[in-house]
Amino acid sequence: MEKISNDICNIIIDNSYKHFDEELNEQNIYDSILIISDGNVYKSQGHDFVKNLKSKIIYEYIVSPGEDSKSLEVYEDIIKYCVRINLSRKSVIIALGGGVVGDLAGYVASTYMRGIDVIQVPTSLLAQVDSSIGGKTGINIGNFKNIIGTFYQPKFTYINVDVLKTLPEDEFRSGMSEVIKYSIIYDYNFLDYLINNSKDILNRGSEKLYYIVKKCASIKAEVVGKDEKEGGLRKILNFGHTFGHGVEKLCKISHGDAVSIGMNMAFKLSLKENLIDEKYYNNFLKVCKAYDLPLEFENADENEVLEIMKSDKKNSFSKINLVLPVDLGKVKVINTICEDRILEIIKECKYA
């Protein structure tokens, strides 16, 4: 077991749930616990997780797996459930699941009775390396993703890397795009590591999984520790996301697949603008190939992709904020690229 902490984040990385209860008691004495999870996760992890909790009043609220659960309706149902079981300000909510459960449970905790404690226990690769760290919570309204949300830090994030072994193949593969993202934005040597160790990582060897999750969680904690509310540095975490946003919505592909397509668009643009050389781009292509990540989209109109990029809530003063690679392991937020140029790049990444 290892800890990563700073003023904002408190993360425990482990290979089991054994030390969870200890950690919980160190934080506070809670009168009851509400575990929010989804059907898939609860089936594979619920028993193992709960058996490690000693002498507590435990409630469970299980949502349907998938993005649709991040809705106002599900939020309202959970709040009503909290009232019914008398969840108090001395209670704690535990989010046991992927990013959907984490965002939803975090939002419930941040608003119920003006905020009660929440603990993140991420179970997907994306959640372990990204969404469970940094305190962003959110729910969707229709097509508007995370349009309602808060910044609300969990008391701690408890990562049991071992649970990644039950994650469906496709979820694991697409989660790798967030892992790759960290190497491009922060640590170029990590990109080589990902290329050289792809077989063992894809076979989910315990040591390799532990290494990559710890590496990414440390980078995320460091970035968020320096810029909690995304005033500056934290924006680099959006690398691949602004471009990816449009294809994710229109092509109905996973978040991870959209991010790898989005990163490809950003790389192509940097190459055209002479911000990076061909060799660097080729290494990016190599890592995507190793993890079978897509680089092109289909079944969407490039103009519509651009329109969605323009409506991204991360833009400011009507300018599209793009995070572009500018050197090995370094990116920069650039908002001076004209729309025609962006459209050209989107077109280039459309599967012909």
Ligand X SMILES: NC(=O)c1ccc[n+]([C@@H]2O[C@H](COP(=O)([O-])OP(=O)(O)OC[C@H]3O[C@@H](n4cnc5c(N)ncnc54)[C@H](O)[C@@H]3O)[C@@H](O)[C@H]2O)c1
Interface map 112-141 toward ligand X (x if CB under 6 A): -----------xx-xx--xx--x-x-----
Report 39-58 residues binding ligand X (CB under 6 A). 40-41, 44-45
Written as one string, the DSSP assignment of 223-274 is: HHHH-TT-SSGGGGGGTTHHHHHHHHHHHT--HHHHHHHHHHHHHHHHHHTT
Is residue 238 flagged as an active site residue?
yes
Report 276-335 residues binding ligand X (CB under 6 A). none
Is residue 249 flagged as an active site residue?
no
187: closest CA among 230, 125, 236? 236
- Report in angstroms how near the CB of residue 50 gets to ligand X at its nearest: 15
Which residue of the set 173, 245, 248, 283 is catalytic?
245
Helix extents (H) in the chain: 20-27, 39-41, 47-50, 72-84, 99-111, 125-126, 169-185, 188-196, 198-202, 206-226, 241-251, 255-272, 278-290, 302-310, 339-348
> By C-beta, is 167 or 320 nearer to ligand X?
167
Q: Is 64 helix (H, G, I), strand (E, B) or coil?
A: coil
Is residue 73 flagged as an active site residue?
no
Report strand pairing: 33-38 vs 92-97.
Answer: parallel
> By C-beta, is 92 or 253 nearer to ligand X?
253
- Report in angstroms how near the CB of residue 329 gets to ligand X at its nearest: 21
Is 219 among the residues that bind ligand X (CB under 6 A)?
Answer: no
- Report in angstroms how near the CB of residue 38 gets to ligand X at its nearest: 5
Is 66 among the residues that bind ligand X (CB under 6 A)?
Answer: yes
Angle at 343 between CA 342 and CA 345, to 5 degrees: 65
> By C-beta, is 41 or 276 nearer to ligand X?
41
Q: Is 14 helix (H, G, I), strand (E, B) or coil?
A: strand
- Report in angstroms how near the CB of residue 134 gets to ligand X at its nearest: 5
Q: In whole angstroms, what is the distance from residue 147 CA to residue 140 CA?
A: 6
Which residue of the set 70, 215, 234, 235 is catalytic?
234
Quick one: which of 38, 117, 187, 248 contacts ligand X (CB under 6 A)?
38
Is residue 255 flagged as an active site residue?
yes
Report 84-103 residues binding ligand X (CB under 6 A). 97-101, 103
Written as one string, the DSSP assignment of 304-352 is: HHHHHHHT-TT-BTTB--EEEEEETTEEEEE----HHHHHHHHHHTB--
Interaction site with ligand X (CB under 6 A): 38, 40-41, 44-45, 65-67, 70, 97-101, 103, 123-124, 126-127, 130-131, 134, 136, 145-146, 163, 166-168, 171, 255
- Catalytically active residues are 114, 136, 178, 220, 230, 234, 238, 241, 245, 255
